[in-house]
Amino acid sequence: MVASGYRDYFKVLGVERNANSESIKRAFRQLAREYHPDVNPGNSDAEAKFKEISEAYEVLSDPEKRRRYEQFGQYWDQTGGMRGSGPVGSGFDVDFGRYGNFDDFVNDLLGRFGAPRGAAGFPGGASRSGDPFIRNATQTSLSLDAEAKVQISFSEAFNGTERTLSVNDERVKVLIPKGIKSGSRLRLKGKGNLQPGTGRRGDLYLNLAVKSHSIWRLDGDLLRAFLPVSFVELALGAVVTVMTPDGEAQVNIPAGTSPGQNLRLKGKGWPLTGGRGDLIFSLSMILPDHWSDEELKLLRELQRLHCNEPRKSWLKSASL
């Protein structure tokens, strides 16, 4: 803050002491247009006035600063105010050349003083070394909250994992619980974007994406996989060894089972709140690439003996 004693910021902006935030913003915008240095090139008085109204707006647009200002008057900034902490104050310098037009400048200034428009939160986004999915945190113009995408493996989603992220130069450990699903959001309270001059900080929301697996897939709360089986195992039945998330297990395939039927293992699937979901194996018949002469001989004999007509009822139903 300029060290020139008490200033009546309400009078500087030409508003009543009970003016609301919209009235204050409207008054500042009007005066900023009038005293902007581009409108008054070389006019030191206009530049000084512009800095004064900018300082007034910074204080009155912030609820906490305004409260202290109204309560303590000229001593408000000695109670934890903005001296040396905000964009206005000792050495308020603005590079006007980086703005395409006056509206861009005023909107940016309004954002820096009041709303968290691009406030110094993730300069390059929250980042985790080597993780391209969390380098671009996004922030809405009306919130200090930020969002980032984190991709984890299927195994990490099933078992849970811990990630260490770099957020505003701070190392933050994030515990990702087991059983998380794609589309889930994790909230890191107080780890979002920072608003300059106020110390206020939003939350960081992590949007989880789970990579697909070559064998397993999640269908709602069901964990599914195709189980390769042979023609003989389906026809005669068998006890086969399968792999589950908990390790190897034995499952029984009843004789005469058709391809595509499901075997359900209750409580052996995806981690859920208070337990586990079911594991579903869909039986997929795999024929050999090559039959031996003896196998072919037996198949021909089976063909001769087999009297079942699998398409008999199908042909009747298919006629139009």
The residue ranges of DSSP E strands in 178-235, in sequence order, are: 185-188, 204-210, 217-219, 222-229
* CA torsion, ordered 273, 282, 233, 230, to nearest 10 deg: -130
Which candidate, 238, 228, 178, 230, places its Cα nearest to that of 208?
178
Domains and CATH numbers, the chain: 9-113 (1.10.287.110), 132-210 (2.60.260.20), 217-313 (2.60.260.20)
The pair of structure tokens assigned to 72 is 């303590």
What is the overall mean pLDDT for the chain?
Answer: 78
Which residue shows structure tokens 């009543």?
Answer: 16
| Selected residue with higher pLDDT from 147 and 219 | 219
Longest Cα pair distance anywhere in the chain, in angstroms? 110
Three-point CA angle 189, 193, 195, nearest 5° = 115
pLDDT digits 0-9 by tens, 177-225: 999 999 999 998 888 887 766 778 888 899 999 999 999 999 999 999 9
Which candidate, 168, 286, 153, places its Cα nearest to that of 227?
286
133 pLDDT exceeds 50? no
Residue 87's pLDDT is 37
pLDDT digits 0-9 by tens, 261-270: 999 999 999 9
288 pLDDT exceeds 60? yes
Which candidate, 88, 81, 139, places its Cα nearest to that of 113?
88
How far is the C-alpha of 60 from the C-alpha of 9, rounded, in Å? Answer: 7
How far is the C-alpha of 89 from the C-alpha of 257, rounded, in Å? Answer: 81
**Helical segments of 150-202, H only:** 154-159
pLDDT digits 0-9 by tens, 77-101: 654 444 433 433 333 444 444 444 4
pLDDT band at 147 (very low <50, low <70, confident <90, very high): confident
How far is the C-alpha of 187 from the C-alpha of 204, rounded, in Å? Answer: 6
Q: Which helix (H) or strand (E) holds 65?
A: helix 63-72
Least confident of 56-60, 62-66, 84-88, 199-203: 84-88
pLDDT digits 0-9 by tens, 244-261: 988 999 999 999 999 999
**How buried is residue 310: exposed, middle or buried, by Cβ count under 10 Å (0-12/13-18/19+)?**
exposed
pLDDT digits 0-9 by tens, 23-40: 999 999 889 888 887 778
- Report how far apart, in Å, the C-alpha atoms of 107 and of each of 31, 69, 110, 115, 117 are: 14, 24, 5, 10, 9
pTM of the predicted structure, to 2 decimals: 0.52
- DSSP string over 103-139: HHHHHHHHHHHTS-TT-SS-SS-SBBTTBGGGS--EE
